[in-house]
């Protein structure tokens, strides 16, 4: 993830000035450089500039309260973009705590990676829709109108594309999910 985040945020002057990018992909920079949640906010903003006003990000003198605000801003904005997170209320009282912005929560690294994965997933699947890529209309089933495809999620579109190629290649297999269905 570090290399992709570096590429996406390479031109962000605020992050460069703060020494948050570029990050070493071989070390723990991805965890250390997200400690104040600025990088997370900037990543969400880069993926979808409409969900975070950069002026809302606490950039200077980030005390615990401002870090907490940044973390909540990042997670809530990511949810607006379509990111899906487990029910954090089972674990904590806020998204910031859920992401690990408190010493009380274990597994902070996995939660941060999950967060970054969700944001990058939105970034990489943003063009998997009929409006952006009209050729996907070819994936309509017999009883469907091409406009029916606009209701499908990017995951559903990719699964349909995958199955179409399996069928065209003569395979009897189909993919229902990206885990068990792909096992040999």
15 to 5, 20, 21: CA distances (angstroms): 12, 5, 6
Q: Distance between CA 6 and CA 2 in Å, rounded? A: 6
Q: What are residue 89's phi and psi, to 5 degrees?
A: -65, -20
Q: Distance between CA 91 and CA 36 in Å, rounded? A: 21
* pLDDT at position 23: 95
Q: What are residue 106's phi and psi, to 5 degrees?
A: -85, 170
Q: Where does the pLDDT of residue 49 fall: very low under 50, low under 70, confident under 90, or very high at 90 and above?
A: very high
Q: What are residue 173's phi and psi, to 5 degrees?
A: -75, 155
In the chain, the DSSP E strands lie at: none
Judge whether residue 54 has pLDDT over 50: yes
* pLDDT at position 103: 43
Q: Distance between CA 180 and CA 183 in Å, rounded? A: 5
Cβ-based neighbour number of residue 105 at 10 Å:
15
Judge whether residue 151 has pLDDT over 80: yes
- Tell me the three state secondary structure of residue 183: coil
126-137 pLDDT, tens per residue? 888 888 888 888
């Amino acid at each position: 993830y570090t290399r992709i985040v570096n590429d996406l945020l390479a031109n962000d002057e605020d992050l460069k000035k703060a020494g948050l990018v570029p990050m070493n992909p071989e070390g723990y920079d991805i965890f250390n450089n997200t400690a104040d949640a600025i990088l997370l906010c900037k990543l969400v903003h880069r993926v979808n500039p409409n969900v975070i006003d950069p002026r809302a990000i606490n950039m200077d003198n980030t005390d615990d309260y401002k870090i907490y605000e940044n973390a909540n801003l990042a997670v809530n904005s990511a949810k607006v973009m379509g990111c899906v997170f487990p029910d954090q209320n089972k674990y904590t009282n806020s998204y910031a705590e859920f992401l690990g912005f408190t010493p009380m929560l274990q597994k902070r690294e996995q939660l941060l990676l999950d967060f970054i994965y969700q944001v990058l997933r939105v970034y990489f699947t943003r063009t998997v829709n009929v409006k952006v890529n009209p050729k996907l209309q070819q994936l309509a089933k017999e009883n469907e109108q091409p406009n029916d495809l606009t209701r499908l999620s990017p995951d559903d579109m990719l699964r349909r594309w995958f199955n179409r190629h399996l069928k065209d290649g003569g395979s009897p297999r189909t993919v229902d999910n990206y885990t068990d269905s792909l096992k040999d």
